[in-house]
Amino acid sequence: MTAAPTPGQTVGPFFGYALPFDGDSELVPLGRPDAVRLTGRVLDGAGEGVPDAIIELWQLAPDGSVPRAEGSFQRDGYTFTGWGRASTDRTGRYSFTTLRPGGPAPYFGLTIFARGLLHRLFTRAYLPGAAPAGLRSLDAEADDRGFVFDIRLQGEGETVFLSYTHDAVPL
């Protein structure tokens, strides 16, 4: 008996054109005084950039609260929703304009969708020095505009990926 493929098995190269929307990676405007950038690359096991991937970002507000505002798909330039989506370019690079997350161990929750992945992957990019002991590979690096966090899908230096129960929110 042959089973029909499920949606998770038929993921194709459609992320780059089917899911982006205006302002998707700009949680706040770039010119906002407290705006920071989170940027990096999605890399395969050979260290090559993965084009046509989508990174979703979930984060706490700067005061450590969970944003409850609606409007993630229709950015208005001032409402902070704590969620965004960025496509990778031909070299696997992604970038978000956002606010510095708050909380006792501040981090950006990241979800990765890419061709060849049957299921999405979850990870975290902690602000420098905030990752729990033993997970220092999840520390983002500071740069002059914000933070840099590369996501290596497999191989040497593979990013630590997390699992959640079906009803948990990756925050």
Q: Give the residue from 164, 145, 167, 160 showing the smallest Cα distance to 97.
A: 145
Q: Can you tell me the mean pLDDT for 7-32? A: 69
Ranking 49-63, 127-141, 153-167 by mean pLDDT, the lowest is: 153-167
Q: Can you tell me the mean pLDDT for 98-111? A: 96
Structure tokens at 54: 């989508």
Q: Can you tell me the mean pLDDT for 91-108? A: 96
CA distances 15 to 12, 46, 49, 52, 106, Å, are 8, 22, 15, 6, 28
- pLDDT for residue 17 is more than 70: no
Q: Report the C-alpha gap between 29 and 101 in whole angstroms.
A: 16
Q: Report the C-alpha gap between 44 and 167 in whole angstroms.
A: 29
Contact yes or no for 83/75 (Cβ under 8 A): no
Name every residue whose Cβ is closer than 8 Å to that of residue 106 and which is 6 or more positions away in sequence: 60, 64, 100, 126, 127, 130
In the prediction, which pLDDT does 5 show?
A: 57
Q: Give the residue from 163, 52, 161 showing the smallest Cα distance to 116.
A: 52
pTM: 0.84
Contact yes or no for 75/97 (Cβ under 8 A): no
- For the chain, domains (ranges, CATH) are 11-28+36-89+99-152 (2.60.130.10)
